[in-house]
Amino acid sequence: MHAVEGVRRRFDPLADYIPAHITLVFPFESEISEVELRQHIEKATAGIRAFPVGFGQVVGTDDQYLLLTFTQGVDEVAGLHDHLYTGPLLPFLSAEIPFVPHITVGRLTTPDDLRNALQLTRSLELGRGTTANSVATFRIDKQQEGSIEFEVPLG
């Protein structure tokens, strides 16, 4: 993950606020309490064991994000995503945003910046992978300060 964090420090404006992570649920606003959310995540992940994740290539999106794709763990990550978008999180599931397992490693401001970042990352060795062993929640408060609220370990 050291190499991934290096790319993030260069290209991701959120690198100082949150460590590299797999986005399982897209950001949403809600009055769900921490207790309710933890209970839901514990229920949704019950029986799911930690699993290996292998990294693929860095790709760009139309809206100038740099995403690190996976070569291993895709089905497991997609399954976690589907399990989490049940119960109290179901109303936040968007049919307009397809879920593609990834780690965001950058957000650029122009298509030219994205092309340059893709050229620079093409030759980087971003590691062989890691183990997904927990689900963490990240909350941003009204002052735009964020932190990991809690983690639920997998299996």
**Can you give the pLDDT at residue 139?**
79
What's the CATH fold of domain 2-153?
Cyclic Phosphodiesterase; Chain: A, (3.90.1140)
Sorted by where each begins, the domain ranges of the chain are: 2-153
**Can you give the pLDDT at residue 140?**
73
HEC string of 37-92? HHHHHHHHHCCCCCEEEEEEEEEECCCCEEEEEEEECHHHHHHHHHHHCCHHHHHH
Residue 40 has pLDDT above 70, yes or no: yes
Write down the residue that tokens 């860095």 correspond to. Answer: 58
**Can you give the pLDDT at residue 96?**
87
Tens of pLDDT, residue by residue over 104-126, are 999 999 999 999 999 999 877 77
Q: What percent of the chain has pLDDT above 90?
A: 68
Q: Considering the entire predicted model, what is its pTM?
A: 0.87
